[in-house]
Amino acid sequence: MFEVYCREFKLVKGDVGIILFFLFLPLAYPIIYSLIYNPELVKNVSMVVVDHDRTLLSRELMRKMDATDQARVIGYAADLNEARRAINTHEAYAILEIPEGFEKRVGRHEAGNAVMYCDMSLLLRYRGFLVASTNVMSDFSTELLTETIDNIAPLAETVVNGDLMPVENISMGNIRNGFDSFIMPGVLILILQQCIILAVGMAGGAQREKMLFTGHSSDSLKGSTALTMIAQSLCYLTILIIPIIFLLHYVPLIFRFPMEGDNLEIFAYILPMVIASLGMGFTLQSIVTERESVFVIWVATSLIFLLLSGLIWPIYDMYPAWRCLSYICPSTWGVEGFIKMNANGASLSQLGPIYRNLWILAAGWCVLGWCSRKFVVRPALRRAQMVRSER
């Protein structure tokens, strides 16, 4: 085991591609992805108003939009063409068009529809305008309803004052309502899984290439398959200690993601996910005959793992086949548990069933990895050795 451990270190140290997956990706990718959505919230984004009504109520609507944190009214436009020129030159990123007769329709208790046009080049700006317009319209409706009740029953003002049904939104685990804090904790787990699977797969491809071209294998063909896998896994875990600590602790600390969980419990929870990912990597070695093959697998599986993780497609809403496929992915359980612990402060004991399932999954993938090494990889290496010796 010690000989295999040392040989695997030598293989990793001499292969730039494996070092890229083991060290560069988990250290650089989280920074790049987090910076894309930082800052998480946009404020005071410019917008123009096309007011065809020119009444007190339309000016009040504009004033309320300007008072929100998300929008800033920079002025009026005579018509939509002039407003679109402001959008095209990036002087503004939204247009609020108030139709003629807006105040009259509202006074007759009809729908006075104001139209919002948004630039979709950045979804964070669109989200800000959507939140601002929704809040302003809700506030407007409350004021008009209170005024109507007061006109019908003057004494009702002593009973009804302000919002008749106040709604306070508290986002558990993401109090800033930021997109980065919502998606990046799960993406960190996906990055970790992909780095492990692809690095182990590339190590298997490098071993086959070396055997084919030189007739020598960096892995003993006479030793125990299980002990060889354990030694290689220990080597990979040693290399991954710093990337894992950086991913799970320092990236959330740098970008101020929610950090409510206990670090030791989080690392204990992630351990079976890492072992399951190693098992997937060993299983992948059965189809990786060249180092470069993992890049094709990387492109093909990254989006699939993201969809199956439950971040952007709820697991309960998946078709049964997709749901079963998501359950055999280590990242699915890793993302769910990490978010519950790091964002919502859950303890390891509260995640008992999920933690148990993750260990069962790790055992299953390790068994599949052993079968792959025992019945596919080693026979292929032996055949390559025989062909090389015959030549």
Q: In this predicted structure, what is the pLDDT of residue 390?
A: 65
Confidence category of residue 300, pLDDT binned at 50, 70, 90: confident
Helix axis angle for 225-245 and 179-214, nearest 10°, is 140
Does the pLDDT at position 220 exceed 60? no
Does the pLDDT at position 199 exceed 70? yes
* Average pLDDT for the chain: 85
Q: Which of 97-101, 190-194, 301-305 has the lowest mean pLDDT?
A: 301-305
Q: In this predicted structure, what is the pLDDT of residue 275?
A: 96
- The mean pLDDT of 89-115, rounded to a whole number, is 86
Q: Which of 331, 330, 329, 351 is nearest to 341 (CA)?
A: 351
**Residues 39/40/44/46 CA torsion (nearest 10 deg):** 90
DSSP collapsed to 3 states, 105-166: HHHCCCCCCCEEEECCCCHHHHHHHHHHHHHHHHHHHHHHHHHHHHHHCHHHHHCCCCCCCC
Look up the pTM and report it. Answer: 0.78
What's the one-letter identity of residue 76?
Answer: Y
- Helix and strand counts by DSSP (H, E) for the chain: 16, 4
For the stretch 20-45, pLDDT in tens is 888 888 889 889 888 877 766 778 89
Q: In this predicted structure, what is the pLDDT of residue 152?
A: 65
HSE of 332, CA atoms in CB hemisphere, 13 A: 23
Better-scored residue on pLDDT, 277 or 257: 277
| DSSP letter (8 states) at residue 49 | E
For the stretch 170-180, pLDDT in tens is 667 776 677 77
- Tell me the C-alpha distance between 221 and 381, whole Å: 8
For the stretch 341-370, pLDDT in tens is 998 889 999 999 999 999 999 999 999 999
